[in-house]
């Protein structure tokens, strides 16, 4: 007999009502009465299906990352698992002690101090007062709140809220830990501290379900990925493949390549039909096929299709790559070296191929491309965030580049 999973969703659907509808609370009735007096036109009530027949299981000790576009249903899954809300249809089962960090400051009382809220939040999460007292010093040290612990939390910043809330939830020693995008609120150093703590919980056998738009964190923390779109699961499996499919989904829905992202003085502002050239398509290719996932050392190329409307002589090709925190990891501009790419005539459609051999660490990256006027050092055309890609690198190295780092021992 196979062991029971830590979390089980069976044909789960969750719907909400959008638009005006009556509430039974005093506040809701007063609002309804005022609307009637003012004869305001009410928006018709319509149902919204946040989740539609979702089924999956999470094994004990497994780390699952749930990714998808905004409004896909990711946070709804966590709220159902945390029993904050209930499914409209289907079955949700969760085994063991659950700690959830879904919204900043959930369970905090604004008028109470940080110290008092640690005890209040701990009791809401299921800890006894004695258990909270025993762990209080560790919670305080982890949060970094310091002397502000006896200050009412209404005076805290959102970052302080997040740090204290995560610290209490993390020290619950849960069987199941549910974490939403709330980690994006704290500073970068605290985010890394949280990730390390979650990795420690993972090593101890805690089941983790992590929702985040930081795909680098999802890739490093999770064994498995679920991609949700419009309330349905479109992929469930390897986390790297889930991220690759997510990139493909986002790219397919990108409405149009945009010129935004550079100061206006750097882009030649002309109407579409009057520009010297237009970048029509940008594709990342590996092994002769379009891709959204690459591996270190794997030869890859960016194919940029350009339509020329006026004669252009020796334009420069530019490629900028940024990592998840916005650091530019690569900046190519062939105009700096005055490379001779030739003269292009009106009506020509040309594919520029930028061959790459990335040595980047495992992370999510975004790339922008442009064509440069070498005489004026401005962009003839520019495409901000033309595509995104994920580097699948099994190396334990961190930072920006993978320089190898093989270690040998020589005894003398």
Residues 217 and 358 in one domain: no
- φ and ψ at residue 204, rounded to 5 degrees: -80, -5
- The Cα–Cα gap between 9 and 1 comes to 19
Q: Evaluate whether residue 268 is within a structural domain.
A: yes
Q: Go through the chain and tell me how many residues it has.
A: 412
Q: How distant, in Å, are the alpha carbons of 98, 124, 209 from that of 121? A: 13, 5, 20
Q: Evaluate whether residue 267 is within a structural domain.
A: yes
Q: Evaluate whether residue 412 is within a structural domain.
A: no
Q: How distant, in Å, are the alpha carbons of 83, 191, 200, 274 from that of 140? A: 27, 16, 18, 62
Q: For the chain, what is the domain count?
A: 2
Residues 152 and 194 in one domain: yes
Closest by Cα among 68, 105, 83 to 253: 68
pLDDT for the residue numbered 180: 83
Residues 22 and 127 in one domain: yes
Residues 364 and 283 in one domain: yes
Residues 240 and 289 in one domain: no
Residues 55 and 81 in one domain: yes
- The Cα–Cα gap between 257 and 180 comes to 31
Range of the domain at 293: 258-391
The residue among 251, 281, 304 that closes a domain is: 251
Residues 95 and 196 in one domain: yes
Contacts of 376 (CB under 8 A, 6+ apart): 268
pLDDT lower than 50: segments of the chain: 1, 257-266
Q: Evaluate whether residue 281 is within a structural domain.
A: yes
Please check whether residue 220 is in contact with residue 209, taking contact to mean a CB–CB distance below 8 angstroms: no
Q: Evaluate whether residue 322 is within a structural domain.
A: yes
- The Cα–Cα gap between 335 and 373 comes to 8
Concatenated DSSP letters of 125-149: HT--HHHHHHHHHHHHHHHT-GGGG
Q: Evaluate whether residue 406 is within a structural domain.
A: no
Q: Evaluate whether residue 62 is within a structural domain.
A: yes
- The Cα–Cα gap between 304 and 176 comes to 46
Do the strands 207-211 and 63-67 form a parallel or antiparallel pair, or are they unpaired? parallel
* Domain at 141, CATH number: 3.40.50.300
Task: Supply 175's token pair.
Answer: 């069987």
pLDDT for the residue numbered 323: 82
pLDDT for the residue numbered 94: 94
The residue among 251, 284, 302 that closes a domain is: 251
Q: Evaluate whether residue 2 is within a structural domain.
A: no
Residues 231 and 271 in one domain: no
Residues 236 and 335 in one domain: no
Residues 216 and 338 in one domain: no
Closest by Cα among 80, 91, 107 to 9: 91
Residues 216 and 344 in one domain: no
SS3 label, residue 264: helix
Please check whether residue 166 is in contact with residue 101, taking contact to mean a CB–CB distance below 8 angstroms: yes
- The Cα–Cα gap between 118 and 353 comes to 57
Task: Supply 110's token pair.
Answer: 């604004």
- Whether this model's pTM surpasses 0.85: no
Please check whether residue 284 is in contact with residue 300, taking contact to mean a CB–CB distance below 8 angstroms: yes
* Domain at 322, CATH number: 2.70.50.60
The residue among 231, 251, 271 that closes a domain is: 251
CB hemisphere CA count around 248 (13 angstroms): 14
- φ and ψ at residue 394, rounded to 5 degrees: -75, -5
Q: Can you point out the beta strands (E) in 27-105?
A: 46-58, 63-67, 89-94, 98-101
Contacts of 19 (CB under 8 A, 6+ apart): 42, 43, 44, 45, 46
Residues 241 and 265 in one domain: no
């Amino acid at each position: 007999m196979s062991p029971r999973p830590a979390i089980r969703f069976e044909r789960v659907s969750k719907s909400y009502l959008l638009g005006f509808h009556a509430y039974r609370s005093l506040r809701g009735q007063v609002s309804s009465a005022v609307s009637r007096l003012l004869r305001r036109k009410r928006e018709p009530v319509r149902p919204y299906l946040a989740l539609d027949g979702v089924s999956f299981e999470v094994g004990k000790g497994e780390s699952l990352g749930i990714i998808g576009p905004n409004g896909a249903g990711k946070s709804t899954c966590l709220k159902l698992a945390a029993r904050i809300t209930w499914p409209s249809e289907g079955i949700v089962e969760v085994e063991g002690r659950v700690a959830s960090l879904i919204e900043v400051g959930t369970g905090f009382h604004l008028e109470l101090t940080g110290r008092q809220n640690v005890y209040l939040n701990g009791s809401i999460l299921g800890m006894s007062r004695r258990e909270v007292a025993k762990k209080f010093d560790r919670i305080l040290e982890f949060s970094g709140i310091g002397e502000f612990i006896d200050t009412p939390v209404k005076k805290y910043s959102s970052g302080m809220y997040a740090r204290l809330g995560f610290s209490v939830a993390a020290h619950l020693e849960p069987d199941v830990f549910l974490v939403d995008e709330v980690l994006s609120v704290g500073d970068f150093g605290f985010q890394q501290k949280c990730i390390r703590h979650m990795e420690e919980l993972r090593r101890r056998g805690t089941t983790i379900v992590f929702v985040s738009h930081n795909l680098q964190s999802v890739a490093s923390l999770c064994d498995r990925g679920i991609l949700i779109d419009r309330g349905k699961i479109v992929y469930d499996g390897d986390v790297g493949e889930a991220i690759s499919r997510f990139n493909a989904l986002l790219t397919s829905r990108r409405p149009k390549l945009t010129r935004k992202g550079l100061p206006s003085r750097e882009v030649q502002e002309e109407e579409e039909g009057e520009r010297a050239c237009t970048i029509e398509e940008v594709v990342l290719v590996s092994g002769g096929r379009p891709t959204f996932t690459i591996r270190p050392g794997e030869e890859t190329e960016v194919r940029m299709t350009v339509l020329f409307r006026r004669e252009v002589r020796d334009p420069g090709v530019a490629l900028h790559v940024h990592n998840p925190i916005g650091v530019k990891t690569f900046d190519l501009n062939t105009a700096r070296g005055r490379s001779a790419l030739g003269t292009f005539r009106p009506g020509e459609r040309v594919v520029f191929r930028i061959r790459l051999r990335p040595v980047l660490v495992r992370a999510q990256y975004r790339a922008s491309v442009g064509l440069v006027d070498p005489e004026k050092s401005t962009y003839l055309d520019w495409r901000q965030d033309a595509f995104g890609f994920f580097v699948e690198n099994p190396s334990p190295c961190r930072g920006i580049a993978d320089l190898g780092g093989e270690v040998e021992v020589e005894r003398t």
